[in-house]
């Protein structure tokens, strides 16, 4: 029926208003029967503007025209035990910009700086942010070259945005305490009482080196439903703030720091949604 575009009568469906739109939800009690109608078929493949995606429920397939403002390198990641290629980009049209993720055979298909029609890409939502995904059924999605926009496009330089969460640190994947170059703060290689910086090509006294820390943590958020997010804490200022909150001294060992952090109840984190780097951290007292 879908292929023939024949009119149908849908009975016993529900309406979902969860995403600010009225979506007809077909369930197991729904019946669909062919009927005759006196109106024309309207194609679903209307090209939407990026700003109008705020009104589209997640998991819908849409058609979008966009200028590929940013494109990252293709990465190989493991999804449910199998290797999958993934590439992230940002597309813009005169109304706005949105992140797009290319999977599998759709990776390395497009070029930064070109304009495309993305036919049947899926609207997804993660941590309150909408993005687009090429669908699992790869052949469904067709990406074609398109005429460049004549209008001016928004500048997509802020490809990453920050987000705030309240949560507790439930685990620490990695703690790293290391000596850093007295000039550039990069990790040094220690040779007895001396240290060598790869970046500055400088040999220096180990006693002149600073001490740096980095943490890879797992946060359980207070959201409903709760989420687990991996965050990274590094850099003098953020580490200092963490140490003050958790009452850790500079001379603490990695183990001592770990214990103190895991014993602290709740934090408010601001982090970069791209790199997951913590950009601010505050204690929450309850």
Answer yes or no whether residue 197 interacts with Zn ion by CB under 5 A. yes
Give the nearer residue to Zn ion in terms of CB position, either 142 or 184.
184
Residue 199 near Zn ion by CB under 5 A: yes
17, 23, 25, 31 alpha-carbon torsion, rounded to 10°: 130
In degrees to the nearest 10, what's the CA dihedral of 58, 59, 60, 63?
90
User: Is 194 one of the binding residues for Zn ion (CB under 5 A)?
Assistant: no
User: How far apart are CB 239 and Zn ion at their closest, in Å?
Assistant: 19
Q: Which two tokens stand for residue 66?
A: 């966009």
57 binds Zn ion, rule: CB under 5 A: no
Question: Six-digit token pair at 204?
Answer: 């220096």
Shortest CB 188 distance to Zn ion, Å: 7
Q: In the complex, what is the shortest distance from the CB of residue 213 to Zn ion, in angstroms, rounded to a whole number?
A: 18
Per 3-state DSSP, the chain is made up of helix, strand and coil in percentages (nearest 5) of: 10, 50, 40
- Which listed range, 44-52, 89-97, 189-197, 256-264, lies at the site for Zn ion (CB under 5 A)? 189-197
Considering only the stretches 30-38, 109-117, 133-141, 181-189, report the one whose residues sit in contact with Zn ion under the rule CB under 5 A: 181-189
| H-helix or E-strand spanning residue 116 | strand 115-126
Among the listed ranges 92-100, 180-188, 216-224, 256-264, the one in contact with Zn ion (CB under 5 A) is: 180-188
Interface with Zn ion by CB under 5 A: which range of 72-80, 200-208, 209-217, 271-279? 200-208
**Minimum distance, C-beta of residue 186 to Zn ion, in the bound complex (Å):** 5
Residues that bind Zn ion (CB under 5 A): 181, 183-184, 186, 197, 199-200
């Amino acid at each position: 029926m879908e292929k023939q575009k024949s009119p149908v009568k849908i009975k016993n469906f529900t309406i979902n208003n969860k995403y600010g739109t009225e979506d007809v939800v077909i369930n197991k009690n729904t019946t669909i029967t062919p009927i005759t109608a006196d109106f024309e078929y309207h194609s679903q493949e209307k090209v939407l503007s990026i700003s109008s995606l705020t009104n589209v429920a997640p998991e819908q397939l849409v058609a979008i025209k966009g200028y590929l403002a940013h494109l990252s390198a293709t990465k190989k990641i493991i999804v449910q035990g199998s290797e999958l290629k993934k590439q992230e980009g940002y597309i813009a049209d005169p109304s706005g910009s949105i992140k797009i993720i290319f999977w599998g055979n759709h990776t390395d298909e497009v070029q930064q700086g070109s304009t495309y029609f993305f036919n049947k890409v899926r609207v997804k939502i993660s941590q309150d942010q909408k993005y687009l995904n090429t669908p699992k059924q790869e052949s469904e999605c067709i990406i074609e070259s398109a005429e460049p926009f004549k209008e001016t496009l928004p500048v997509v330089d802020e490809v990453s945005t920050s987000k705030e969460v309240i949560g507790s640190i439930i685990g620490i994947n990695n703690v790293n305490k290391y000596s850093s170059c007295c000039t550039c703060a990069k990790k040094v290689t220690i040779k007895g009482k001396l240290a060598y910086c790869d970046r500055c090509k400088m040999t220096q006294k180990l006693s002149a080196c600073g001490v740096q820390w980095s943490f890879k943590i797992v946060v359980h958020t207070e959201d409903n439903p709760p989420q687990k997010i991996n965050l990274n804490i590094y850099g003098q200022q953020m580490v200092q703030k963490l140490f003050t909150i958790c009452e850790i001294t500079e001379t603490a060992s990695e183990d001592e720091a770990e214990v103190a952090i895991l014993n602290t109840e709740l934090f408010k984190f601001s982090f970069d949604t791209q790199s997951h780097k913590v950009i601010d951290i505050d204690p929450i007292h309850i």
